[in-house]
A = this chain, B = another copy of it.
Amino acid sequence: MSDKSQFVHIQKQEMVDTFLRILLKKGFTASKASRCAEVFAVNSLEGIYTHGVNRFPRFVSYIDKGYVKVDQEPTRSGGFGALEQWDGNLGPGPLNALAATDRAIQIAETAGIGCVALANTNHWMRGGYYGWHAARKGFVFIGWTNTMGNMPAWGAVDSKLGNNPLVIALPFGDEGIVLDMAMSQYSYGALDLYVKKGEKLPVTGGYDVNGNLTDDPQKIMDSQRVMPIGYWKGAGLSLLLDLLATILSGGLSTAEISKRPAEHALSQVFVAIDIRKLNHYPAIEKSIHAILDDYHQSDTGINGKAVRYPSENIRSIREVNQVRGIPVVKEVWEEICRIA
């Protein structure tokens, strides 16, 4: 962030309290408001501002427009055995996703593995939150969501694919290891950040309006043609995640969501696996350590910057933000305070 004066620093508790006041005004019950405020504040505390505090005003506007229904929660709609289908009834995305994660965990506790497919839900904000939630309870987690079309198929110009974030998490120590990745190389939020910093992207991130690959974030924002990770591979993975989310939940596909006036009524999948009852469970922590130790011994050549595993830096981000307060773009915080 080139201009520090644009930021204010907000303590997590102040952020929670502010979100809480707004959500209570919007008709959330006290317990739902508290859980929802916590998701937005923790995402911000852990550095995922784009799907935390920065997104909160849009979340509130979606409530006002009726896309997010504050009084709704998921209801069981089908499935059998350890495979359940739930209808999110367009309730708040983070609360629906938390409920689905908890239900998948509950199923896994007796069935070893549990799968909840959730239709008609709303944006879950940061998918990694549910990965951390499951990992801290001792469960392996695999989950994904579809989105509206925001990424072209390989070789295409228009955005028929969603960036469909995928989350994979496992317990480690008293927390976890969490991979939380969209199928586009960069999110629009990330592109915007590079534009604001006046920097090029570290690697090619999409196309300009003439269809040439570029590392210029503004040119990609102009063309709206972000690049799938691994070109055709990430495009294929995105399509399959949408197909599975749609057919497992019986909900809307990216194609159908794209026809809506706004991104809502999404389809999501939550898989939890209970590793605590496995015979070799006592050896698992050591096994993870051994894998990470080997990984960390990667030769990084003349650059000498140690490799990191996904989510490895989260503790340090959290600690810095706990001490200094969460950095928030001044205008964003002012906007939030106006509705508080």
| A261 lies within 8 A of chain B by Cβ | no
Choice from B79, B211, B247, B277 contacting A288 with Cβ under 8 Å: B247
| A88 lies within 8 A of chain B by Cβ | no
| A198 lies within 8 A of chain B by Cβ | no
Q: Which residues of B contact A114 (CB under 8 A)?
A: 113
Do the beta carbons of A237 and B153 come within 8 Å of each other?
no
A76-105: CB near B (< 8 Å → 1, else 0) gives 011111111100000000000000000000
Interchain nearest-CB distance for A6 vs B (Å): 27
A277-316: CB near B (< 8 Å → 1, else 0) gives 1111001100110110011011111110101011000000
Interchain nearest-CB distance for A313 vs B (Å): 12
Do the beta carbons of B231 and A203 come within 8 Å of each other?
yes
Do the beta carbons of A229 and B240 come within 8 Å of each other?
no
A147-178: CB near B (< 8 Å → 1, else 0) gives 00000111111101100001010100000010
Copies of this chain held together in the complex: 2
Q: Which of A114, A234, A247 has the most CB of B within 10 A?
A: A247
If the complex has contacts A112-B115, A179-B240, A298-B153, are A247 and B275 also in contact, measured as CB distance less than 8 A?
A: yes
- Which of A23-31, A248-256, A329-337 faces chain B? A248-256
A182 to B311, CA, bound (A): 22
Q: Which residue of B lies closest to A140 (CB)?
A: B244
Interchain nearest-CB distance for A135 vs B (Å): 11
Do the beta carbons of B230 and A185 come within 8 Å of each other?
yes
| A233 lies within 8 A of chain B by Cβ | yes
Which secondary structure dominates where chain A touches chain B?
mixed
| A22 lies within 8 A of chain B by Cβ | no
Q: Which residue of B lies closest to A166 (CB)?
A: B237
Q: Which residues of B contact A295 (CB under 8 A)?
A: 153, 160-161, 239, 255
Do the beta carbons of B248 and A140 come within 8 Å of each other?
yes
If the complex has contacts A273-B83, A294-B160, are A113 and B110 also in contact, measured as CB distance less than 8 A?
A: no
Interchain nearest-CB distance for A229 vs B (Å): 3
A84 to B82, CA, bound (A): 14
Do the beta carbons of A309 and B236 come within 8 Å of each other?
yes
Choice from B152, B234, B240, B246 contacting A287 with Cβ under 8 Å: B246
A216-259: CB near B (< 8 Å → 1, else 0) gives 00000000000011110110110111111011101001111000
Do the beta carbons of B79 and A112 come within 8 Å of each other?
yes
Q: Which residue of B lies closest to A172 (CB)?
A: B243
| A181 lies within 8 A of chain B by Cβ | yes
| A274 lies within 8 A of chain B by Cβ | yes
Q: Pick the 4 closest A-B CB pairs, nearest first.
A: A229-B230, A83-B112, A81-B112, A156-B298
| Known contacts A157-B301, A247-B288, then 11 further A-B pairs from the complex at CB < 8 Å, ordered by chain A residue | A78-B280, A81-B113, A83-B111, A168-B241, A204-B204, A229-B229, A230-B230, A240-B310, A242-B291, A250-B280, A253-B291
